[in-house]
Structure 1
Amino acid sequence: MLRKAKDCRLAVLVNLPFSAPRDVHRQWPLKLLGSPLAVAVSVNSLMAVKALLDLGADPFLPVYDGIQFQPGDPRQQWTAFHIAAKYHCGDILQYLVEHTDTSKQLGLSALGCALAFSTSLERLAMHGPRRTKQLDRTIQIIQGIQSLAVMTSNGMT
């Protein structure tokens, strides 16, 4: 019983988003935002994603705190799937697709919209010369879940 209670508390903690951005280092422009799972995806760490999922992280929960974005901003509904799409992390996105409930994947808000939220510099830093291949792979995985024409609640595609 105690183990189950600890597991429940741990699952709550691994799903809890930061309420403010975290600086990695004051000399670096990188700021981490969101749940531990969002951070693991943001730094392209498949090992950390697997560990967090094993600890009870839910890839379908919103990764950001509700106050971090203005009302109507599509990022309020973003999940780990959206962060993987944003940073073109094909390996992580593929892992999430293969290890989660397909019926829940159908309920995800527009994944294609997330593709445009990262900068060229972020993608270059993460993927180097493989950035175009990662984009192509990410698009292919998204199309296996939903059309790229799926719109957000405010009409963004």
Structure 2
Amino acid sequence: MPPFVTASAARPDSHAGVVGSQGSATWLLPPADASVPAARRQVAEQLNAWGLPRLVDDAELIVSELVTNAVRHGSRSGPVWHTVRRIPGEVLDEVRLEVGDSGTRSWGDAGRSDVDEPVGDEADLSCSGRGLLLVETLSSDWGVCRLPHGHVVWALLSNGDEDHGSACP
């Protein structure tokens, strides 16, 4: 969980995030399925408020996938958080979407009791990377970072990039 988030942003029905001076908003959500549509709505409202409606559809799909992954594979004992950042550019702005969880280990780690390892058909789907392939296709760049208190996955959207994925190596 990012250290700059306050408890007032912890409700999934919250319509306003914690807005930072760099043009960002962060929300805390419970590790529950209801957090996925809440995150979509929050990102759409923020992008529309910034006058970036062109990015809403792609941002909603990306945040849906990332929050779903955080809910399904992160710790059930800690919140899921997501941030949308507006990054001013010389010509066009970019938006960075970040989703974090408080999971500390990967599947199969010894002693992990709060994250279920996927089984059966679910394992084939969740481990195949199809959702992250969608993120890669829609974003100009994306990545994942391990934090001392969990993980964060981020995706970058360019306001003028019609050729999605062109910035990926």
Instruction: From the two aligned structures, give the one with the greater strand fraction.
Output: 2
Q: Do both proteins adopt the same fold according to a TM-score greater than 0.5, normalized to the shorter chain? A: no
